[in-house]
């Protein structure tokens, strides 16, 4: 009996040991699982923090942008039916256009010595009523320029010789703003320091911080015309009256302005100064105000290959800070001595200008008044008016559009925009929204939709039928190099955490 009892006790003891052994193994397995989960959790948290820190608010990541651009290449581009924007029955000229961050289209123009405004509401798909902007004007208001800030305030400037606020009867730059509550502010005089007449078209650009930047041309006396600049911070007053072209006495004319994503200000104009051996003909000059140094940099000659006159420059800046310039030129760069559209850009990294390209190679008519803009994918969009009988458009003036596809690295074929017009179409302006829809406005004498044969403001847009939208706001995911660094950080963190757990510094006994 004693042996049997002892044997029974031994079996029970072994069974207990077995259970204890199994329990210990289970505990070790659970500990390993917990170690893995804790390590993975900490690693994911660190990696997400890395993405948030290295990413920044934007439209979409670079990879998706390139996919979207390829979809644009393979999708159908369609021009909408022409819309007659000016409906008052009086001659309407010199339109300008802007598109806000929500996709609403804003258009201004001059009509019967006054400035008018109208917008397209993207939510209701309707055009607003026409509004008179220059309500304080009693003389001549002309040549408006428009911009919209990120708070959806509309800003318009124009030339005016009304003796308003002591401005005198010479031409001055006037300004007005349509506030968020849709009411117009009282007219302000921008060029308060000016005592002489102004010439050419004043231009406005809105910075990323909603600061308003303005340039204009002024007769400083006799043979000295200068490009002047001023700005207005949000909620502030007009400051920073400066001469952009302060090199020597000469004629500086027809400025254009663009403010890049960092807040640097880029200005181009045409000039007859023999600056940097540019010669005594008209050339395109460029200068920019660097937001980092808070200084205007040196004046540069853009049209260095031109041996004849260069006219009407337009500038736009891409996401890398490179300035792109177009103008029309009489120089024969294998394109004849008629007016052609020339293009070149300034590399932001090397500060060097590329060789001039001719965008109207093969066109046998005259090309005038080019305008350029960029989009969120750094594609370039150019429009001008042209007398070439391109694709059966006739020898009258037509609006031509051309696009640089940044993904493919090529200029796409030109397109005729004013297909509904058989008479004179001229002076286009262009804007692109956040989903790459192109919006073009111009003046036309076509009796379209009962508009009559006087000058009217026409509008068209083109859009992509398919393709994802890059307009969703979110984090711009870092590129491949930063992803690699992120994974290195992730696995290093996992190793450190696992080592600490193994040494029982993070996991209790």
Sign of CA dihedral 275, 276, 278, 283: negative
Predicted pLDDT of residue 245: 86
Predicted pLDDT of residue 96: 98
| Residue listed under structure tokens 């940044």 | 406
The answer to whether the beta carbons of residues 333 and 358 sit under 8 Å apart is yes
- For the CA atoms of 439, 445, 448, 451, the dihedral, rounded to the nearest 10 degrees, stands at 100
Measured CA to CA, the distance from residue 188 to residue 206 in angstroms comes to 17
Predicted pLDDT of residue 249: 74
Tell whether pTM > 0.85.
no
List CB contacts of 370: < 8 A, sequence separation 6 or more: 312, 314, 326, 327, 328, 341, 359, 382, 383, 384
| Residue of 361, 389, 379 whose CA lies nearest to 73 | 379
Query: Which of left, alpha, beta for 268 (phi over 0: left; psi -120 to 50: alpha)?
Result: beta
Predicted pLDDT of residue 282: 93
Predicted pLDDT of residue 343: 98
DSSP 237: -
List CB contacts of 179: < 8 A, sequence separation 6 or more: 153, 185
Phi and psi torsions of 136, nearest 5°? -90, -5
Strand partners, 341: 328
* CA distances from residue 475 to 50, 224, 328, 407, 472 in whole angstroms, order as listed: 12, 50, 40, 21, 10
Cα 336–Cα 342–Cα 347 angle in degrees, nearest 5: 145
The answer to whether the beta carbons of residues 157 and 170 sit under 8 Å apart is no
User: HSE on the CB side for 133, CA within 13 Å?
Assistant: 34
Measured CA to CA, the distance from residue 218 to residue 199 in angstroms comes to 6
Phi and psi torsions of 259, nearest 5°? -110, 125
Measured CA to CA, the distance from residue 75 to residue 438 in angstroms comes to 15
How does pLDDT run across 481-506, given as a tens digit for each residue?
444 555 556 666 666 666 666 665 54
Measured CA to CA, the distance from residue 255 to residue 265 in angstroms comes to 13
Predicted pLDDT of residue 371: 98
| Residue of 299, 294, 147 whose CA lies nearest to 234 | 147
| Residue listed under structure tokens 């019967």 | 112
* CA distances from residue 102 to 10, 80, 143 in whole angstroms, order as listed: 82, 19, 26
**Burial classification of residue 38, based on how many CB atoms lie within 10 Å of its CB (0-12 exposed, 13-18 middle, 19 or more buried):** middle
Strand partners, 83: 459
Q: 3-state class of 315 per DSSP?
A: strand
User: HSE on the CB side for 116, CA within 13 Å?
Assistant: 23
The answer to whether the beta carbons of residues 439 and 79 sit under 8 Å apart is no
Predicted pLDDT of residue 275: 80
DSSP run (H or E) holding 54:
helix 2-54
Q: Domain boundaries in the chain?
A: 2-55+478-502
N-term to C-term CA, the chain = 43
| Residue of 212, 208, 207, 224 whose CA lies nearest to 173 | 212
| Residue listed under structure tokens 């289970």 | 26
DSSP run (H or E) holding 50:
helix 2-54
Q: pLDDT truncated to tens, each residue of the chain (509 aa)?
A: 455 554 555 455 554 444 444 454 555 555 555 666 666 666 666 655 555 555 443 444 444 454 444 444 444 468 889 999 998 889 999 999 999 999 999 999 999 999 999 999 999 999 999 999 999 999 999 999 999 999 999 999 999 999 999 999 889 999 999 999 999 999 999 999 887 777 678 999 999 999 999 999 988 776 788 999 999 999 999 999 999 987 667 889 999 999 999 999 999 999 988 887 788 899 999 999 999 999 999 999 999 999 999 999 999 999 999 999 999 999 999 999 899 999 999 999 999 999 999 999 999 999 999 999 999 999 999 999 999 999 999 989 999 999 999 999 999 999 999 998 899 999 999 999 999 999 999 999 999 988 899 999 999 998 754 333 333 333 333 444 444 555 556 666 666 666 666 665 544 44
Chain-centroid distance of CA 416 in Å reads 23
| Residue of 98, 133, 92 whose CA lies nearest to 110 | 92
How does pLDDT run across 200-216, given as a tens digit for each residue?
789 999 999 999 999 99
DSSP string, 413-469: PPEES-TT-SS-EEEEEEEE-TT--EEEEEEE----TT--SS-EEEEEEEEESSS--
Measured CA to CA, the distance from residue 447 to residue 417 in angstroms comes to 17
């Amino acid at each position: 009996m004693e042996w049997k009892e002892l044997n029974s006790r031994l079996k029970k003891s072994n069974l207990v040991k077995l259970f204890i052994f199994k329990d210990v193994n289970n505990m070790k397995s659970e500990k390993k699982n917990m170690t893995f989960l804790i390590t993975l959790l900490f690693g994911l948290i660190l990696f997400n923090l890395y993405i948030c820190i290295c990413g920044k608010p934007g439209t979409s990541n670079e990879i998706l942008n390139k996919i979207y651009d390829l979809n644009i290449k393979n999708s159908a581009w369609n021009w909408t039916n022409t819309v007659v924007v000016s409906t008052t029955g009086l001659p309407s000229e010199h339109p300008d256009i802007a598109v806000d961050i929500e996709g609403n289209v804003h258009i201004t123009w001059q009509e019967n010595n006054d400035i008018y405004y109208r917008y397209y509401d993207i939510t209701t798909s309707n055009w607003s009523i026409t509004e008179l902007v220059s309500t304080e004007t009693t003389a001549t208001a002309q040549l408006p320029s428009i911009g919209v800030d990120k708070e959806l305030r509309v800003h318009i400037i124009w030339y005016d010789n009304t003796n308003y606020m002591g401005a005198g009867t010479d031409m001055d730059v006037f300004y007005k703003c349509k506030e968020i509550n849709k009411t117009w502010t009282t007219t302000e005089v921008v060029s308060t320091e000016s005592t002489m007449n102004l010439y050419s078209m004043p231009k406005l650009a809105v910075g990323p911080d909603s600061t308003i930047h303005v340039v204009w041309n002024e007769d400083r006396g006799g043979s000295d015309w200068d490009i002047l600049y001023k700005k207005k911070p949000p909620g502030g007053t007009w400051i920073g009256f400066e001469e952009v072209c302060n090199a020597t006495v000469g004629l500086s004319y027809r400025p254009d302005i663009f403010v890049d994503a960092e807040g640097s200000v880029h200005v181009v104009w045409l000039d007859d100064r023999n600056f940097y051996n540019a010669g005594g003909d008209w050339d395109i000059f460029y200068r920019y105000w660097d937001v980092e140094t808070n200084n205007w940099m040196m004046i540069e000659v853009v049209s260095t290959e031109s041996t004849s006159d260069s006219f009407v420059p337009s500038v736009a800046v891409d996401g890398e800070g490179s300035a792109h310039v177009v103008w029309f030129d009489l120089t024969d760069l294998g394109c004849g001595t008629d007016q052609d559209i020339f293009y070149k850009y300034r590399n932001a990294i090397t500060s060097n200008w590329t060789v001039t390209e001719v965008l109207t190679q093969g066109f046998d008519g005259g090309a005038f008044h080019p305008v350029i803009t960029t989009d969120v994918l750094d594609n370039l969009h150019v429009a001008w008016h042209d007398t070439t009988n391109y694709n059966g458009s006739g020898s009258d003036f037509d609006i031509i559009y051309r696009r640089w596809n940044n993904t493919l690295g090529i200029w796409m074929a030109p397109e005729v925009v004013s297909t509904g017009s058989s008479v004179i179409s001229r002076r286009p302006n262009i804007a692109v929204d956040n989903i790459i829809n192109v919006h073009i406005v111009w003046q036309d004498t076509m009796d379209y939709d009962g508009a009559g044969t006087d000058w009217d403001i026409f509008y068209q847009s083109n859009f992509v039928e398919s393709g994802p939208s890059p307009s969703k706001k979110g984090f711009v995911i870092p590129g491949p190099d930063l992803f690699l660094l992120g994974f290195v950080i992730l696995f290093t963190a996992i190793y450190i955490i696992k080592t600490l757990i193994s040494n029982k510094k993070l996991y209790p006994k």
